[in-house]
Amino acid sequence: MDDMIKRRDFLKIAGASGSAVVMEGCSRAPVEKLIPYLVAPDDIVPGMPAHYATVCRECPAGCGLLAKTREGRVIKVEGNPHNPVGGGGLCVRGQASLQSLYNPDRFRGPYARDGRGELRPVTWDQAETTLTSALRRLKREGRGSRIAWIGSLLTGSLERLTREWLQALGSERRLFYETFQYESLRRAAELAFGRAEIPAYHLEEANFLVSFGADFLETWLSNVELARAFSHMRKKRPHREPDNFVHISPRLSLTGSNADWWIPITPGAEVFLALSMAHAMIEQGWIAAGAKPHLRWIKELITPFSPASMQEATGVSPSTVRELARRFYHASPSLALGGGVSAGGDQAVSTELAVMLLNVLAGNVGKTVSFGAQQALDNLASYRDVLALTEDMKQQKIDLLFLHHCNPVFTLPASSGFSEALEKVPLVVSFSSAPDEATARAHLVLPDHHFLESWGDYTPRAGILGFQQPAMPPILDTRATGELLLRLARNIDSEIASQFDWPSYGNWVQSYWNSVVYPQLMRQEPWEEIWPAILKSGGHFSSSEPSAVSLRDFSRDIHFVRERLEGADDGLALVVYPSVHFFDGRNANNPWLQEIPDPVTKIVWGGWLELHPETAQKLGLEEGDVVELHSPYGRLKVAAHLYSGLHRGVVAMPLGQGRGPAGLRYASGRGDNPSRLLSPKPDPTSGSMLWRSVRVTLSKSGQKQEMVRLQVQTQPVTPVSDLIGLDHNPMSEKRGAEHRAPVDFYPPHSHPEHRWAMAIDLDSCVGCNACVAACYAENNVPVVGKERCAEGREMSWIRIEKYEQPSQAHDIVRPGVSSLPMLCQQCDQAPCEPVCPVYATYHNPEGLNAQVYNRCVGTRYCGNNCPYKVRRFNWASYSFPEPLHLQLNPDVTVRTAGVMEKCTFCIQRIQQGKNIARREGRAVRDGDITTACAQSCPAEAIVFGDLTDPKSKVAALAKDLRGYRVLDLLNTRPAVTYLKKIVSNRPFSET
């Protein structure tokens, strides 16, 4: 018995060791609170999202935005349905604005240049003191006029604050600089109608659209709004004669890919094609009544431009021109647009004038083209103004330069000398929130809040008063520029201090709205009643009346001549176009935008030069060959991508890659910046920058660079018809309700309450990738980087498959591009379900093909058996570098290595919708619940809903005549119905 432990001893030991463990536990990590709100702020309910209406400021379009926050962090942005700009949709860049907010490369505080010329972190007090003393000195010495401001487009409160603030210091020099300006359009409008302004275009009213290079689905003017209008225009067209969009451009852009016809025109000949169209219209007497009084001088003006005489220049046969003119006139109201790469040369004003002439002749002015919109873009400084500032900087006439959210060092032609001129300015202050090429040369970096953290407002055009409110407190040590200006004003001297006596910038904005905006609204209600409504809807929106305009005789103001290009005669014209994802390069450090494949080339994480395969063959170049480009103004090296959507005489390169060396972890070292090749000279007519100004010569460098393309096979192969439904002719075949009779071994699944389903209209889908970015944001889909993408390990749950079946007449091409958004089809007879050995994937009672991440052992059998290949395996655990992790949706698991994942129709959003309905004691209504992809779609191509509700939109669409299921032959019976693209196979000729 002696060596046995007694019961008491045992208890003693157990008690002592137990408490030792407890003590040990106490001494280590402090208690962490999962939800640290003992007394929660009013608007934060743990687990419940709060939405703030604001305005997207990623580009000057200014779409309405709803910021979804959870526990005080923005986790998702969606279009604001109240705001007519965007109308609830958002583009890929808008969706990805979250990653500019949480970008790990953002400045975490102010920086100042030290004695050795390096940027070092400083405190805000130090930074402000430095700037205050400089401003005080300049004002005291009367050199306030030597202060200049160059920055992004501002309207409303901050426009007023910056204007008055600069004026108080004695400066009038404030330039609103945007990379893509519309100077030629404004100049043409001035010549034709006496109004130097950008017209408003109403695509939804048009029955026939001719675009001379205007990439309105990508970056031109206001892409979300125009994409929505375009989808309305397309939806109402007759199915029997569906062709109503012709794109005329040397390059087949994403916009052009959505056209029924593409004329690959010789660069510079756009103006002649437009004029010969006008010639044909007049010749045939296809003239609207409104144009008749002007007929005499117009006739005289265009006499030399008959289709026959222009054929050599344009490469378009007279019969095609006449047919184009006929369709354009008879579809009244039609619409002609001019812009983008076709308005980038020194004849841009002529082109825009010729396009306006077409609209006049067809009687579109006042119907699909209207004036008096007072677009914010009208206030942009012209390139000539920027050059003048550059010149003054070079001559040391500028003592202090403010850079406000613009990056002219990158976006201006390198030959303009802006970069060198910056060196001559004694004090350069940048408000950029992330490193860029211009800020790298600044002496003081005073990072601004992100727009989702800021007060503000933006009015893209008359009547659209978008209001910006902070959706969350700033995550980094940044300071709103407006706030900073007010603080500086307080300290410069008492005179200025009294002028800017506002406690904070938020107060300034609110008082601006109270005192300036409110009277303009002309509303009866008191301000206190309107104000909450403005905060709730994200602004105040009303329609503005268009102004009547009359055509002026501009025949003496313009001479139609050929576009001049500099460079070797045997060179190829260089077409520089804005990137769908990176705009002018500002979004290049955004990992989602790098990882989502470019909608046209499907390339990820890289820059490229587009070459026609024939040109490449002539030069002995292959895909991925690094090419050296020489222009009279510079040279650069970039990898070649063969693309047949090009005129044979051009090479094309997107703007946006080639960022750095500013230490941008996602953007640095990818491709190159084509603006290094461009001419610094402004267009003599409009003063705008020339994007199409040089010919380049190509030489092979001998190096190769891997082009990572996420879809290689886009060419027509036999089975493609099953994917894009080509074999289903909606006119001849009975489809819809009568899908193939099910032949099943097992009894069908029952869906007692809901059967979630989706309908995707391929006729509306433009392939813009907005849904893809929305999915990344909503579902915590990781970014894997270039190497992993090259290995084929991308993680996106939804992808846009692109299929091309072009057919060509001698001068006009039917691009035949189909965009097919492919996501999990939530099959009723899902091939992935029976093969999973552990039931990690199963059919849930609501028809979803659910995926239980923590049950998955990673056999990948389901992925192999999925015919749609939409399952994504986590080959590794992916990281979300700080502070990108703050964006993660708390409703969705972050998956780890070894787990299969996929789309489940945003099951967390379905759950949320059902919870709300249950709390309100009602059934779920159609439209209550929508997926992230459907929500974001600018073209409203994706409809989500419940099939068991016979009145739901999706139930109706599932029976649509155009409806088909992808790979129906496999009897998987998907929940996604695709509506076939409406295409005609009629040739483009006179009928």
Partner 1 sequence: MISDPQSTPAVFHQVNADILRVLRRPGWIYFLALSTCLLGVAWGAYCWMYQVHNGLVVTGMLHPIMWACYIATFVFWVGIAHSGTLISAILFLFRARWRASISRVSEAMTVFAIMTAGLFPLIHLGRVWYFYWLIPYPNQRQLWINFRSPLIWDVFAIGTYLVVSALFWYLGLIPDLASARDASSGLRRRIFGLCALGWSGTAMEWKHYMTAYLFFAALATPLVVSVHSVVSWDFAMTIVPGWHSTIFAPYFVAGAILSGLAMVLTLVIPARSLLHLEDYITFRHLENVAKLMILTSLIVSYSYLMEFFFAWYSENPYERGSFMERVSGPYARLFWLMIVCNSLVPLLFFIPAARRNRVMLLGASLLVNVGMWTERFVIIVVSLSHDHSVASWGRVYRPTWVEVSVLLGSLAFFLLWFLLFIRHLPAVPMSEVKEALLRKR
Residues that bind partner 1 (CB under 8 A): 711-714, 717-720, 723, 788, 791-794, 799, 801-803, 820, 822, 831, 834-839, 855-861, 863-865, 867-869, 872-877, 897-900, 967, 970
- Please, which residues have CB within 8 angstroms of residue 577's CB and are 6 or more apart in sequence? 215, 251, 253, 340, 341, 652, 653, 654, 655, 691
Nearer to partner 1, 494 or 718 (CB): 718
Q: What residues pair up with 650 in beta bridges, in sequence order? A: 573
Distance CA 156, CA 511 (A): 12
Nearer to partner 1, 525 or 727 (CB): 727
Nearer to partner 1, 713 or 915 (CB): 713
Q: Which two tokens stand for residue 953?
A: 């939109």
Distance CA 521, CA 519 (A): 5
To the nearest whole angstrom, how small is the minimum distance from the Cβ of residue 501 to partner 1? 59
Find where tokens 């959507």 sit: 645
Nearer to partner 1, 313 or 970 (CB): 970
Dihedral (Cα; 611, 617, 619, 625), 10-degree rounding: 60
Question: What phi, psi does 158 have (nearest 5°)?
Answer: -75, -30
DSSP 712: -
- Nearest 5 degrees, angle CA 190-CA 191-CA 197? 15
To the nearest whole angstrom, how small is the minimum distance from the Cβ of residue 604 to partner 1? 14
Nearer to partner 1, 285 or 837 (CB): 837
To the nearest whole angstrom, how small is the minimum distance from the Cβ of residue 800 to partner 1? 9
Nearer to partner 1, 49 or 898 (CB): 898
To the nearest whole angstrom, how small is the minimum distance from the Cβ of residue 379 to partner 1? 44
To the nearest whole angstrom, how small is the minimum distance from the Cβ of residue 798 to partner 1? 12
To the nearest whole angstrom, how small is the minimum distance from the Cβ of residue 880 to partner 1? 16
Please report the DSSP string for 875-944 in residue order.
SS----TTTGGGGS-TTSPPP-TT-EE---S-HHHHHHHHHHHHHTTSPPPTTT---HHHHH-TT--EEE
Nearer to partner 1, 531 or 875 (CB): 875
Q: Which strands make up the sheet holding 807-808, listed edge to edge?
A: 334-338, 208-212, 245-248, 261-263, 813-814, 807-808
Distance CA 944, CA 279 (A): 48
To the nearest whole angstrom, how small is the minimum distance from the Cβ of residue 966 to partner 1? 9
Contact status, residue 423 vs residue 440, Cβ threshold 8 Å: no
Nearer to partner 1, 737 or 838 (CB): 838
Nearer to partner 1, 372 or 867 (CB): 867
- Nearest 5 degrees, angle CA 255-CA 248-CA 338? 80
Q: Which two tokens stand for residue 520?
A: 């303009």
To the nearest whole angstrom, how small is the minimum distance from the Cβ of residue 970 to partner 1? 6
Nearer to partner 1, 19 or 715 (CB): 715
Q: Which two tokens stand for residue 242?
A: 């569906």
Contact status, residue 79 vs residue 64, Cβ threshold 8 Å: yes
To the nearest whole angstrom, how small is the minimum distance from the Cβ of residue 842 to partner 1? 8
Q: Which two tokens stand for residue 410?
A: 């990158």
Q: What residues pair up with 981 in beta bridges, in sequence order? A: none
To the nearest whole angstrom, how small is the minimum distance from the Cβ of residue 937 to partner 1? 20
To the nearest whole angstrom, how small is the minimum distance from the Cβ of residue 796 to partner 1? 10
Helix extents (H) in 337-460: 348-361, 383-394, 408-411, 418-423
To the nearest whole angstrom, how small is the minimum distance from the Cβ of residue 875 to partner 1? 4
Nearer to partner 1, 364 or 825 (CB): 825
Residue 504: is it exposed, middle or buried by C-beta count within 10 angstroms (0-12/13-18/19+)?
middle
For 12, other C-beta atoms within 10 Å of its C-beta total 12
Collapsing DSSP to helix, strand or coil, 263 comes out as strand
Cα atoms in the 13 Å half-sphere on the side-chain side of 713? 6
Nearer to partner 1, 447 or 606 (CB): 606
From the DSSP assignment, how many helices (H) and strands (E) are in the chain? 31, 37
Collapsing DSSP to helix, strand or coil, 626 comes out as strand
To the nearest whole angstrom, how small is the minimum distance from the Cβ of residue 892 to partner 1? 19
To the nearest whole angstrom, how small is the minimum distance from the Cβ of residue 720 to partner 1? 6
Distance CA 67, CA 454 (A): 12
To the nearest whole angstrom, how small is the minimum distance from the Cβ of residue 831 to partner 1? 5
Nearer to partner 1, 388 or 894 (CB): 894
Nearer to partner 1, 568 or 970 (CB): 970
Q: Find the helix or strand (DSSP H, E) in which 125 lies.
A: helix 124-140
Distance CA 592, CA 312 (A): 45
To the nearest whole angstrom, how small is the minimum distance from the Cβ of residue 969 to partner 1? 8
To the nearest whole angstrom, how small is the minimum distance from the Cβ of residue 725 to partner 1? 13
Distance CA 257, CA 254 (A): 5
Nearer to partner 1, 837 or 921 (CB): 837
Nearer to partner 1, 70 or 788 (CB): 788
Please report the DSSP string for 658-689 in residue order.
---SS--TTTTTSS--GGGGS--PPPTTT---
Distance CA 337, CA 646 (A): 20
Bond from prior residue into 632 cis (ω within 30 degrees of 0): no
Report the first-to-last Cα separation within the chain, whole angstroms.
Answer: 113
Nearer to partner 1, 442 or 856 (CB): 856
